[in-house]
Amino acid sequence: MRIGVIGLGLIGGSFALAIRRAHPSAVVVGTDRDEAAIDAALQRGVVDAAATLPELGACDALMIAVPVRQMPELFARLSSHLQSNCVVTDAGSTKGAVIEAARTTFGAHVAQFVPGHPIAGRERSGVGAAAGELFEARHVVLTPLEENDPAAIDRVEQLWQSCGARVVRLEAGEHDRVFAAVSHLPHIIAFALVDELAARPNARQLFTFAASGFRDFTRIAGSSPDMWRDIALDNGAALAEECRRIEERLAALRRAIEARDGETLHTAMQRARAAREHWMAGELAGFRDDAA
């Protein structure tokens, strides 16, 4: 088995390491637009060898793990090199725009493209942060296309399962709406909070007294701006709607604070704490599920 990886960063590097661990006889090859990332991946033994696009298009499976707005141009360059036996997948955090780009650029080869998104990561980026166990017991969402050959979907599913992941399937639009709410919005809020405080004249004083709650809340503001700008733009409609909804929530809390309405504040906090406790305990039965 020959597996290719384009984008030897946190996710691509971790996927390569996990595949090598699960399939010791597999040959894993890769490339990156950054020569230093290729060198580091070779040095760390993340990949067996560097490869060109024609070589990558001839692999049995190919993982594309570059920032989402890099994908359209990359797909266009890759398209003419894709052999019919090569199943392609991606790790992009948004799916609608990536799929649109694949349909535009891959032509008939789009049947070989099974879109995916591993729900695992960390705020550090680059191959130095890659870890073979990153996907263990984590979800990977596949958003298969109607054009996909079921065998191609199975192959991608099996690869992820061999990395220890639990594969689930979602429709692409639903994926983008769900992750706008539970991932993209929290990142925007964390970036906004740190940016707001850092811009104030007394920023040094504020950060001197910021403690563990602030550190927990803003951990994700340490994430890659390249990646998150791309996600925010690609999933703009769903994310803008989430921003609007949270602005309304914040405005309601602000009005309660100004009105010294402790009951409204307490009720909202109580509801949020109970919901978080249920979620942390894995008890989802009490949540509404109108989508089911």
Min. distance of Cβ 14 from ligand NAD in angstroms?
8
Nearer to ligand NAD, 112 or 179 (CB): 179
Interaction of residue 224 with ligand NAD, rule CB under 6 A: yes
Please tell me whether residue 67 binds ligand NAD under the rule CB under 6 A: yes
Using CB under 6 A as the binding rule, whether residue 33 contacts ligand NAD is answered as yes
- Smallest Cα–Cα separation from 3: which of 29, 39, 24, 22? 29
Work out whether 229 is an interface residue with ligand NAD (CB under 6 A).
no
Which residues ranging from 105 to 144 are in contact with ligand NAD (CB under 6 A)? Answer: 117-118, 121-122, 125-126
Applying CB under 6 A, does 70 fall inside the site for ligand NAD? yes
CB 108 within 8 Å of CB 83: no
Binding track over 180-219 against ligand NAD, x by CB under 6 A: ----------------------------------------
Cα distances from 188 to residues 98, 217, 229, 230, 285, in angstroms, run 21, 12, 10, 12, 29
Pick from 246, 105, 245, 240: nearest CA to 176 = 240
CA distance 274 to 192: 26
CA-based angle 208:212:216, to the nearest 5? 120
**Minimum distance, C-beta of residue 10 to ligand NAD, in the bound complex (Å):** 4
User: Per rule CB under 6 A, is residue 34 in the interface with ligand NAD?
Assistant: yes
Q: For residues 203 and 255, give the distance between their C-alpha atoms in angstroms, rounded to a whole number.
A: 26
The answer to the question of residue 12 lying near ligand NAD (CB under 6 A) is: yes
Q: Report residue 89 as tokens.
A: 């997948």
Q: For the chain, how big is the Rg over CA atoms in Å?
A: 21
Q: In what order do the strands lie in the sheet with 166-169?
A: 116-118, 139-142, 166-169
For residue 122, the minimal CB distance to ligand NAD (Å) is 6
- Stretch touching ligand NAD by CB under 6 A, among 32-40, 210-218, 238-246, 263-271: 32-40
**Bridge partners of 49?**
29
- Binder of ligand NAD out of 91, 114, 163, 239 (CB under 6 A): 91
The yes or no reply on residue 66 touching ligand NAD (CB under 6 A) is yes
Q: Which of residues 34 and 133 has its CB atom nearest to ligand NAD in the complex? A: 34
Residue closest to 231 by CA, chosen among 91, 135, 105: 91
Q: Which residues contact ligand NAD (rule: CB under 6 A)?
A: 6-12, 32-34, 37, 65-68, 70, 74, 91-93, 117-118, 121-122, 125-126, 224, 227, 231
